């Protein structure tokens, strides 16, 4: 059994990896609904990390795939214990960064808001509209302020790589769509018809519950982030199709998960070869507003993993 081959590690922190050196950086995969493990991952270790922002959704699985060290985390937990609002987003991103992750691929289930984007299609979104209201959206609070640019919330280079690989692997009759706006809703209930039609009138392409929060935190953590949005349904706006329900979503999730795994594996191979740089990798360079000497020690220690490249490593014992 797989579990018999997994080494359980209580606490492993590798945050002292050179933040400017992508040669040894790792790639993270945040598996969404229907994708609770990463096929093909070899030499697996399970890593339990306690972060300054609490416990991550699950143990992180560290292994090798396509010539690269990959860290996999099921965002809802491997048994789907966390509703979208309850996912420990800060802990998840902090934990990935502590293991040297500098790229994240994020497969996730979405509903379509446009006729041409059909169930079982894939979308590589390039923009967000945020309609959540109960999420932590920053690591920088409690005495420290940082402003990062979010004009282009997804990494263009990473998105292009996953789109290129996806187009090659899409089966006949299914389409991969490049670009489009992802409407982030709170959940866990699906939309009302009025909401769905409102978002359509805004020109949104897909609707989901998780990626926006991850993308904002990943940018602060200086991690390049790209999404593979797996379309399961037409939300509830389409008069020619039944309203979205859990059975429909689960059936299409199973179909999408196999294809998504292949696309992610192919993209990892490209990232391993290219180690692409991203504007996200130095997002904090001009974003740290509070002078470091004015940041409370407790806060400084929590964000040190992100700021040490600019402020130097924080020593709690220093005066």
**Closest Cα to residue 34, out of 72, 78, 1, 2?**
78
Q: Rounded distance, CA 184 to CA 88, Å?
A: 17
Q: Report the b/e string of 278-289 with b at 16+ CB within 10 A.
A: bbbbebbeebbe
Q: Is 319 exposed, middle or buried (0-12, 13-18, 19+ CB in 10 A)?
A: exposed
Q: Rounded distance, CA 315 to CA 302, Å?
A: 12
- H helix runs in the chain, sequence order: 89-98, 156-169, 193-201, 211-220, 246-274, 297-311
Maximum distance among all Cα pairs of the chain, rounded to whole angstroms: 67
Residues in the chain: 319
Q: Which residues are catalytic?
A: 233, 235
């Amino acid at each position: 059994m797989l579990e018999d081959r997994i080494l359980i590690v209580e606490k492993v922190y590798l945050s002292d990896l050179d933040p400017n050196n992508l040669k040894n950086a790792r790639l993270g995969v945040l598996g969404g609904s229907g994708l609770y493990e990463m096929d093909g991952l070899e030499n697996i270790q399970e890593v339990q990390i306690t972060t300054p922002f609490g416990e991550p959704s699950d143990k992180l699985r560290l292994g090798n795939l396509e010539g690269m060290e990959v860290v996999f985390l099921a965002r809802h937990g491997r048994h789907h214990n966390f509703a979208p609002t309850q996912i420990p987003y800060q802990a998840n991103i902090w934990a990935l960064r502590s293991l040297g992750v500098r790229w994240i691929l994020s497969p996730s289930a979405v509903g379509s808001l446009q006729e041409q984007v059909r169930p079982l299609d894939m979308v590589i979104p390039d923009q967000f509209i945020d309609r959540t209201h109960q999420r932590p959206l920053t690591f920088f609070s409690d005495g420290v302020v940082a402003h990062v640019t979010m004009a282009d919330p997804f990494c263009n280079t990473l998105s292009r790589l996953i789109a290129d690989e996806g187009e090659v692997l899409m089966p006949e009759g299914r389409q991969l769509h490049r670009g489009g706006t992802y409407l982030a809703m709170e959940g866990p209930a699906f939309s009302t018809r009025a909401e769905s039609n409102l978002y359509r009138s805004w020109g949104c392409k897909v609707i989901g519950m998780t990626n926006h929060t991850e993308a904002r935190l990943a940018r602060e953590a200086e991690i390049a982030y790209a999404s593979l949005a797996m379309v399961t349904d037409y939300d509830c706006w389409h008069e020619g199709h039944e309203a979205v329900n859990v059975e429909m979503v689960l059936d299409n999730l199973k179909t999408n998960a196999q294809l998504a795994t292949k696309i992610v594996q192919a993209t990892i191979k490209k990232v391993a070869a290219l180690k692409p740089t991203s504007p996200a990798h130095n997002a904090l360079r001009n974003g740290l507003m509070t002078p470091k000497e004015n940041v409370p020690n407790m806060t400084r220690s929590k964000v040190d993993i992100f700021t040490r490249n600019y402020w130097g490593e924080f020593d709690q014992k220093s005066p």
